[in-house]
Amino acid sequence: MNASIVEPLQPGCPWAELNHSLGQPNLKWCEATQCAWVTEPANTWSNLAYVAAALLMFAWARRDPRTSLRLMPVAVAFLAACSFAYHASSTFAFQVFDFLGMFGFLFVPLVLNLVRRGALSPSRGPAAYAAFVAVGLGLVFAGRAWRLPYQALIAVGAALTVGSELWAMPRAARPASYRDFATAVALLLVAETFSLLDLTRAWCDPLDHVLQGHAVWHVVSAASLVFVFRHYAALRPATA
């Protein structure tokens, strides 16, 4: 099975009309596509890990006045819904929303770090956040038009976020420990490893609808996002 070959859904399948009218995603994960309302069961239901992560964040953030912390669980809940819809439908339309969900979370800490470093005023944070998300989505459409692997945008966004955190570290406003941040990065690397094993077919059983490399990505990356939240929750309130 080649990841670059995405077969359209067969006529009569639940998502076939949307799949044919708006197009297929740009790549095929290992799991075999089913003619059903949930076309990729393992890759779809594993998004419940993001729901669990969002609920944890909501519980921890509900008494915190900082807008940035309250935005993180909202972004993760949105990501869960979008990724669920994308893998359930195997359509480009919902793949776009999947990217919107990922950008929605990734750029929260990036903007926070720019504010911490003094490169961005707090009042301009929301506008900068919206601009980052808009540019990210624009690059997704550009990548599709030019037939480029736009999944790399998530790796670039993650690298920018990690880099911005390292850049912001010398500032006075920082958490007492970087253990949560280091754990988040380590988990993200593990998650990305499983996703690449799936994408390259190094580990691939298309008929296994319980355990898939990309499904592991969902579960482990959800855990990573929880530790990202914990890290920024430890910042002094005045910095966020």
In a domain, 152, yes or no: yes
Q: Is residue 178 part of a domain?
A: yes
Residue of 6, 13, 33 lying closest to 92 (CA atoms): 6
Q: Number of structural domains, the chain?
A: 1
Residue range(s) defining the domain that contains residue 230:
37-239
Q: Is residue 122 part of a domain?
A: yes
pLDDT in tens, 220-233: 999 999 999 999 99
Q: Is 160 a member of any domain? A: yes
Q: Is residue 29 part of a domain?
A: no
Give the pLDDT of residue 1. Answer: 58
Is-contact 221 184, C-beta < 8 A? no
Does some domain include residue 113?
Answer: yes
- The answer as to whether 91 is a domain residue is yes
The DSSP result for 162-199, as a single string, is HHHHHHHTTSS---S--HHHHHHHHHHHHHHHHHHHHH
Tell me the pLDDT tens digit for each residue of 166-197: 888 866 455 667 899 999 999 999 999 999 99
Would 189 be classed as within a structural domain? yes
pLDDT 10s digits, 64-114: 888 888 899 999 999 999 999 999 999 999 999 999 999 999 999 999 999
Quickly tell me which residue has 């903007």 as its tokens.
111
pLDDT of residue 239: 42
150: Cβ–Cβ under 8 A, 6 or more apart, which residues?
26, 99, 139, 140, 142, 143, 144
Q: What's the confidence (pLDDT) of residue 22?
A: 81
